[in-house]
Amino acid sequence: MRRAGLFGRRGAGAPDAGTPRRASGAAAGDLAGDAHGAPSRAAHGPRFGGTADITSGKGPRGGPGSQGAGSIDVDGVSVTIDGTGILHDVSLQAHPGMLLALVGPNGAGKSTLLTVIAGDQAVDSGTVRVAGHPLASWSIKQLARERSVLLQQTSVAFPFTVTQVVEMGRAPWIGTPFEADDEAAVAEALDLTDLHSLTERHVPSLSGGERARAALARVLAQRTRILLLDEPTAALDIGHQEDVLRIARAQADLGDTVVVVLHDLGLAAAFADRVCLLENGRVVADGTPTEVFDAELLSAVYRHPLEVLTHPVNGTLLILPVRSARGPSSEENP
Ligand code: ADP
Ligand code: MG
């Protein structure tokens, strides 16, 4: 595990990103040699995704360079808003194939860090590189073809239908050969998020969970190499939480770079390759879930006694608040 200030840099290790990896349609060409296979979803029988095949392609490289596409390199970033320091000397890296979870208590700076990576929040010092290039060298359009963002608060002011919202994810590709993939990308995203029965519903009429899935579908339809998801599971029941993380994991396994803010440490332990633990705007730990999820450290950061257990069957870490044993109530057992 790397604690604050010890974060080492590693090579981008990105595959050649100058060409789309999982091309669909004539415009994208034939990439039969792609090493990534489609993830199997049948084994777990998720409610998301009956027929969609997550093998369709991303667009061409959206940004200024071809090396390290999909890589994220945050180096010594500090952010001050209205005179208050929000992020302090934050460094982290993510690369294709990785699912990186950002965790930490409320107000730790997770959302701010995500918007910094997205290029939507200016930094006071430090650098952020996407695909090896400083964010400043990217145009808005180029960035929109490289990374998609699911914000913590998504509001749809106008009564767009679910389909219309998901179609908005295709906007960056207007006027490119990848416009030909619009219909397939939208259908795939709707399928993956189990929204086919709601396509004509107006978004304001949806439940919180349905709205969250529509927002995720828009991000998936954008078909970018980098997915930045801020608490995508917040409004979802436990089954849909699993499905969202399974989709995110599948995208990473196909070679995308996925950065996801999570409150549920158990989900992070189960699905993330790497975890970055933030506290008061600083990275206090960065490593694999096993490295970062140390009971003493978590208890200190969350200011609550927590215990880390190992699932007896699958070995996944379970992070729980320490609770005293509670017997049956006296009313039930007089
Ligand atoms: P998290 O997502 O970890 O809960 P945030 O990144 O949303 O944390 O916020 C980190 C801190 O920065 C909080 O104390 C929050 O109040 C503050 N903050 C975030 N955005 C602003 C802003 N626009 N103006 C002032 N303070 C902000
Ligand atoms: Mg937040």
Three-state SS string over 233-258 comes to CCCCCHHHHHHHHHHHHHHHHCCCEE
Could you read off the pLDDT of 196-250 as tens digits, one per residue? 999 999 998 998 889 889 999 999 999 999 999 999 998 889 998 998 999 999 9
Say if ligand 1 is within 6 A of residue 111 CB: yes
Could you read off the pLDDT of 158-199 as tens digits, one per residue? 789 999 999 999 999 999 999 999 999 999 999 999 999 999
Closest C-alpha to ligand 1, atom 26: 81
- Which of 58, 138, 128, 144 is closest to 93 using CA atoms? 128
| Residue 114 within a domain | yes
- Which of 128, 114, 115, 72 is closest to 95 using CA atoms? 72
Q: Is the dihedral of CA 49, 53, 59, 62 positive or negative?
A: positive
Say if ligand 1 is within 6 A of residue 279 CB: no
pTM value is 0.82
Ligand nearest to the CA of 152: 2
Q: Is the dihedral of CA 62, 213, 280, 3 positive or negative?
A: negative
| Residue 148 within a domain | yes
Domains contained in the chain, number: 1
Q: Give the model's confidence band at 328: pLDDT under 50 very low, under 70 low, under 90 confident, else very high.
A: low
| Residue 320 within a domain | no
CB 271 within 8 A of CB 249: yes
Say if ligand 1 is within 6 A of residue 104 CB: yes
List helix spans (H) across 169-207: 182-192
- State the average pLDDT over residues 113-120: 97
Quote the ligand 2 centre to 163 CA distance (angstroms).
Answer: 27
% of the chain at pLDDT higher than 70:
76
> Looking at 80-94, 271-285, 311-325, which range is the least confident one?
311-325
CB 199 within 8 A of CB 249: no
Instruction: Using the predicted structure, report yes or no on whether residue 82 has a pLDDT greater than 90.
Output: yes
Q: How far is CA 234 from CA 37, 208, 244, in A?
A: 29, 9, 11
Q: What is the pLDDT of residue 331?
A: 53
What gap in Å lies between CA 218 and CA 184, rounded to an integer? 13
| Residue 325 within a domain | no
| Residue 319 within a domain | no
Instruction: Using the predicted structure, report yes or no on whether residue 32 has a pLDDT greater than 70.
Output: no
Ligand 1 atom with minimal separation from the 105 CA: 3
Say if ligand 1 is within 6 A of residue 153 CB: no
* DSSP 3-state percent helix, strand, coil across the chain (nearest 5): 30, 20, 45
Say if ligand 1 is within 6 A of residue 276 CB: no
| Residue 333 within a domain | no
CATH number for position 273? 3.40.50.300
Q: What is the pLDDT of residue 51?
A: 33
209 vs 301, more confident: 301
30 vs 202, more confident: 202
Could you read off the pLDDT of 6-19 as tens digits, one per residue? 222 222 333 333 33
| 78, 80, 81, best to mutate for ligand 1 pocket (most atoms within 8 Å of CB) | 81
What gap in Å lies between CA 44 and CA 318, rounded to an integer? 20
| Residue 295 within a domain | yes
Residue 187's domain comprises 2-29+48-305
| Residue 37 within a domain | no
- Which of 198, 121, 118 is closest to 165 using CA atoms? 198
- Could you give the 3-state DSSP secondary structure of residue 102? strand
Task: Tell me which DSSP letter residue 178 carries.
Answer: G
Apex CA 9: angle with CA 106 and CA 62, to 5°? 80
Q: What is the pLDDT of residue 324?
A: 81
Instruction: Using the predicted structure, report yes or no on whether residue 2 has a pLDDT greater than 60.
Output: no
